[in-house]
Chains A and B, each alone.
Chain A
Amino acid sequence: MASHTMPTAKPKLGVFKFASCDGCQLSLLDCEDELLAVAGAVDIANFPEASRAVEEGPYDLALVEGSITTPHDAERVIEVRRQSKFLISIGACATAGGIQALRNWKDVDDFTRVVYATPEYISTLDRSTPISVHVEVDFELRGCPISKTQLLELVAAFLQGRRPNIPTYSVCVECKGRGTPCVMVSHGTPCLGPVTQAGCGAICPAYNRGCYGCFGPMESPNTAALGHWWERQLDVPVPDLVDAFRGFNAYAEAFRTASDDYELRESRD
């Protein structure tokens, strides 16, 4: 394996997939213009969406997409970690359990019985959990899907050994930066932006919609105060509050506890 010791060897990148829709991996392919630069900077050793060629580990950088939903995946992710120097989980599935984490509030056997002809062949866990529950993660890149700009910034920062510019403040900062008038204030549309981490560029408010929370909770999410305003000023019913926090990042702690609190309220009302 002479190539390992050659001074010109490029860092080896591996992309790994667990329970997910592949959308985040596709963000990397979507970097059309930049893809050549990526290919020039790293040796793409494993990338199922792009090529079937698989090189053996170890990997310098592993991008891990998807959540852990089966016993087999729970073991596989430990192997990926063992093979990788730097591991980044990418997307809402990998960082928070994804939309499939909605099962965490239900009995998963009920689903398998309904969906599969022979449910006893199905080996699945009763929870969908983020990668960080199973192995140590070096960085979590949020988003459903991730932002390709942030992904490129992260890879560049990794290569250059510097801290990535990936802010943890609210979507509101991006909204104001692009000059979008606030949809909550100007037409009373409920928006999760104030409790959601920036990264998307505040797309939905720019189209007069409220934020859906795709990038998960921001650094200091005050879900109670936002929920209170929705309820009192925007007349949002409690069941809708439960649903709002149970989206792509339902199992992220701040959103999970918020939806649980409102569900408890709902059961009492």
Chain B
Amino acid sequence: MSTTAVVERENFEELFEALRARGYESVGPTVRDSTIVYDHIETVADLPVGWTDIQEAGTYRLVRRKDEALFGYVIGPHSFKKYLFPPRHTLFTLEKTSEGVKLVDAGDPVPQYAFIGMRPCELAAMSIQDRVFGEGPFFDTEYLRRRQQVFVVAVNCVETGGTCFCTSMGTGPKALEGFDLSVTELLGDAGHRFLIEAGSPLGEEVLADLPHRAAESGEVADAERLLEQAEGAMGRSLDTGGIKELLVGNPEHPRWERVGEQCLTCTNCTMVCPTCFCATVEDTQSLDGATAERVRRWDSCFTTEFSYIHGGSLRPSAAARYRQWMTHKLASWIDQFGTSGCVGCGRCITWCPVGIDITKIAAAIRASEEKKHALA
């Protein structure tokens, strides 16, 4: 890997130029509807310049910063998952013709995306989805053809949010691999700069296009210090020690019933989670029966239909659905994919409309288990 380079704020715009020149469509953070969402972006001015977010369970507020940081927020309701695994997309269309049934529209062209401002937890989430969709005997061509051409500009987290716990999950606050470029934003007296590392030959090429200089040792040390601080400043934490046994061993824990009373089975937690991958397909036909379409759309373990088998839903209660979701995320995912299904991004906590908190529930179950052992 190359040494760390420094790009001054006034030259950062050229990153967009360099990516555009290589045919990339940049998508990343921008302000919309009082939040920071991911959308198509063209220039630095589209970034959330001078904005930050304050997050707690069930609340998110966008507020002004005192500086003009480009990446001075944490994460919003969107994740990059929507570009690789769209909420809804047509798999194929069938048309009745005089020569029989014709397959059309399969494999529409996909843009070559550059993901700007991808957080380390999101990078980890993408690598989890890479395993889910891309490894093993079955793989998902729709995901892979989008994924293969992605250029990743990761941004390390020098500030953390109220619902973040990536330190617990070992996914941040610094991106270690899987990026083309990784950026650490430095503000302050010495000027607004970006420490940039290339993580791939293509990243090196793009970096070479930007006016840059070698980082001074003091700058590298500053960045390290900020990241260390961030590591200790997570709003949440989750003890993962023996978590699989803990959850699998407690299917009848009273905490599930309690969360079931609170949970709206609204599906928000699964929709915002960057690793949740469930989908279903819908077949529809036109009124005259001349065309048919198969659409794939996000599904969620919180719906009744999800576990519907002949005669009814396997998980009729909210308690059973929440338990299924959390146990899969933190426990059975490990057996299935060799990794936790949670990267500690905190989205499910912030974006649950009633503030249900996965870290609190895990802690409550652990506490009662420890009490049991202490008494035994």
Contacts and interface: CB of A to CB of B under 8 A. Distances in A.
B149 interface: no
A191 B354 CA distance: 11
B34 A181 contact: yes
A194 interface: yes
A95 interface: no
Interface in B57-82: 58-62, 76-78, 82
A155 interface: yes
A181 B32 contact: yes
Interface stretch (B197-205, B206-214, B295-303, B327-335): B295-303
Contact of A37 (B37, B271, B287): B287
B304 A182 contact: no
Interface stretch (B187-195, B224-232, B258-266): B258-266
A153 B271 contact: no
Nearest to B352: A185
Contacts of B288: 37, 40-41
B137 interface: no
Interface in B327-370: 350-351, 353-355
A176 interface: yes
Contacts of B264: 170, 194-195, 222, 225-226
B285 A222 contact: no
Contact of B62 (A40, A153, A186): A186
Contacts of A4: none
Contacts of A169: 267, 300, 302-305
A233 interface: yes
B337 to A, nearest CB: 23
A165 interface: yes
Interface residues of A, number: 45
Contacts of B32: 181
Band of interface residues on B: 35 or more
A34 to B, nearest CB: 7
A135 interface: no
Nearest to A233: B58
A177 B87 contact: yes
Given A153-B284, A185-B353, A193 B61 contact: no
A152 to B, nearest CB: 7
A interface secondary structure, majority:
helix
A134 B354 CA distance: 38
B210 to A, nearest CB: 30
A72 to B, nearest CB: 34
Contacts of A173: 266-267, 271, 298, 300, 303
Contact of B37 (A165, A181, A222): A181
Interface string B1-42: 000000000000000000000000000000011110100000
A176 B353 contact: no
A73 to B, nearest CB: 31
12 contacts: A40-B287, A160-B285, A165-B283, A168-B305, A170-B264, A172-B271, A179-B37, A193-B266, A193-B353, A225-B264, A225-B354, A233-B355
Interface of B: 32-35, 37, 58-62, 76-78, 82, 87-88, 261-268, 271-272, 282-289, 297-298, 300, 302-305, 316, 318, 350-351, 353-355
Interface of A: 34, 37-38, 40-41, 152-153, 155-156, 159-160, 162, 165, 167-170, 172-173, 176-182, 184-188, 191, 193-195, 208, 219-220, 222, 224-226, 228-229, 233
